Structure 1
Amino acid sequence: MPEIRFQIELPDGSQEVCYSPSLVVRQYFEEGSEYPLTDFVERSRTALNIASDRVKAKYGFSCSLAIGQLRQIETMATKYAKLPDPKVRLIRFIEN
Structure 2
Amino acid sequence: MPEVRFTIRWPDGVEESCYSPSTAIHAHLQAGTTYPLGEFLQRARTGLNEASDRVAAKYGFACSAAMDQLARIEHRAASLHRDGKVTCLSMS
TM-score (normalizing by structure 1): 0.92
Q: Specify the alignment match of 1:92 in structure 2.
A: 90
Secondary structure of the equivalent of 1:24? helix
Equivalent pairs: percent with the same residue? 50
Distance 2:82 2:66 in 1: 29
Secondary structure of the equivalent of 2:41? helix
Q: Specify the alignment match of 1:47 in structure 2.
A: 47
Q: Specify the alignment match of 2:27 in structure 1.
A: 27
Distance 2:21 2:4 in 1: 6
Secondary structure of the equivalent of 1:2? coil
Give the superposition deviation at 1:85. Answer: 1.8
Amino acid aligned to 1:40: F
Give the superposition deviation at 1:29. Answer: 1.2
Give the superposition deviation at 1:32. Answer: 0.7
Secondary structure of the equivalent of 1:56? helix
Give the superposition deviation at 1:84. Answer: 6.0
Unaligned runs of 5+ in 2: none
Q: Specify the alignment match of 1:18 in structure 2.
A: 18
Unaligned runs of 5+ in 1: none
CA contact (8 A) 2:37 2:82 kept: no
Q: Specify the alignment match of 1:5 in structure 2.
A: 5
Q: Which runs of 4+ in 1 moved over 3 A?
A: none
Deviations 1:19-71 (A, max 9, x none): 00000111111111000001101100000001001000100110000000000
